[in-house]
Structure 1
Amino acid sequence: MPRKIDKKCLACVQLSPDQARVAHGPDGDGCWDERRCHRRRSHYRKRRDINEKRRVDYARSREQTSVETISIEVETAPLAYLYLYREKRKDAPLHAIAVSVWQDSQKVLEIEPIHCSGMRNRQIQRYLERALQQLNQRFGITKFEPDIRLEPVECPIADCPLKQEAADE
């Protein structure tokens, strides 16, 4: 924290050096010190200009060190997400499947979800292969992103039996 300004020294700045020596020297109030006073008087006299210069230099250095920021648009390839509606346990049957394609943060395509009740594993695999063929033709997608597991009660199909059971209760 800076020292407080000595009001006596600030008043002394207004005097010439000879007048200051007489007023504050051994014949005056005795506070004049040859080693200190000349420097202190100079500091008090130029204090406002020195501080202003210091502020300007600091602001200039902050401007120079500030980093310019630019944004570069990155074209991302479309991604295919596979939604599996099944319970959490490993041996739970697959309730429904849905596929959506996203590019950047926008949904570009959605394949209608289907129920898997009554379908065998091979039938489900063929369905997913056909979906990937369609996606490959349109977007160049060769595989799905890691599966997203959702609960069967979240099934998006309108005439889902689980939704009818929930409505009956």
Structure 2
Amino acid sequence: MARRINQKCVACAQLSVAKARQLHGESGDGCWVEKRCHRRRSHYRNRQGLNEKRRVEYRQQVEVAKPDDGVERVSLEVAESTLPYANLYIWREKRKDAPVHAISATVIQDGQKVLEVEPIHCAGYRKRQLERYMEQKVMPYLKERFGITHFSNEIRLEPIECPLKDCPLKESFEFGGATDD
């Protein structure tokens, strides 16, 4: 298992050598070790780039090491235009009995969004009311305009991600959330 990152050393690595010696040397907290700190500071400054380079090299090794399984691989062209499909977006908490906060839909054709049904808040709506809204308003419109009879995907989003401007959850999160005192 990898050694934990020393947050003190990460902060120190961003300082100049003179400033680091002053803060952490004999006149400071005493953690500066001449033999070790130069190398450690360099490691922490270049850590992200080195790790990314290591990952790329590993991926290349894995690709080279894959045995040829004797299977012929063919790439075929995709049809020029694709049929449109609809996604249903449901803003609700993860638990199964959570109420639906908001609901929306989009239609995608040829990889681009061509229609977006504006999201609505569902506060106070019962399950049957939501089903009726989808069956009587949304689906007939999608069927008439695009020939869509069902949603391809149901995408669950957290209520705090609600896109509506007048969402009461956003206000309670912004003003009632944690403060930095």
Please report the TM-score for the alignment, with normalisation by the length of structure 1. Answer: 0.57
**Aligned-residue identity in percent:** 55
- Determine whether 1:116 maps to 2:126: no
CA drift at 1:96: 0.5
Q: Which residue of 2 aligns with 1:141?
A: 148
Q: Which residue of 2 aligns with 1:164?
A: 171
**Larger Cα Rg: Structure 1 or Structure 2?**
1
Letter in 1 for 2:97: D
Letter in 2 for 1:94: V
CA drift at 1:168: 1.1
Q: 1:70 to 1:93 in 2, by over 3 A?
A: closer
- Determine whether 1:89 maps to 2:67: no
Across the two proteins, how many residue pairs are aligned to each other?
103
Structure 2: gaps spanning 5 or more residues:
1-74, 177-181
Letter in 2 for 1:110: E
Q: Which residue of 1 aligns with 2:63?
A: none
CA offsets per residue over residues 111-152 of structure 1, 9 Å max, x none? 110011111111100111120100000000000113111100
Distance, in Å, in 2 between the alignment partners of 1:81 and 1:70 is 27
Q: 1:114 to 1:71 in 2, by over 3 A?
A: same
Q: Is the 8 A contact 2:86 2:153 kept in 1?
A: no
CA drift at 1:70: 7.9
Q: Which residue of 2 aligns with 1:127?
A: 133
Letter in 1 for 2:94: K
Match of 1:104 among 105, 110, 130: 110
CA offsets per residue over residues 28-57 of structure 1, 9 Å max, x none? xxxxxxxxxxxxxxxxxxxxxxxxxxxxxx
- Determine whether 1:79 maps to 2:117: no
Q: Which residue of 2 aligns with 1:9?
A: none
Letter in 2 for 1:157: L
Q: 1:84 to 1:72 in 2, by over 3 A?
A: closer
Q: CA RMSD in A?
A: 2.0
**Counterpart of 2:83 in 1: which secondary structure?**
coil
Distance, in Å, in 1 between the alignment partners of 2:117 and 2:160 is 19
Distance, in Å, in 1 between the alignment partners of 2:118 and 2:89 is 11
Structure 1: gaps spanning 5 or more residues:
1-68
Letter in 2 for 1:109: L
Distance, in Å, in 1 between the alignment partners of 2:131 and 2:149 is 15
Distance, in Å, in 2 between the alignment partners of 1:154 and 1:72 is 34
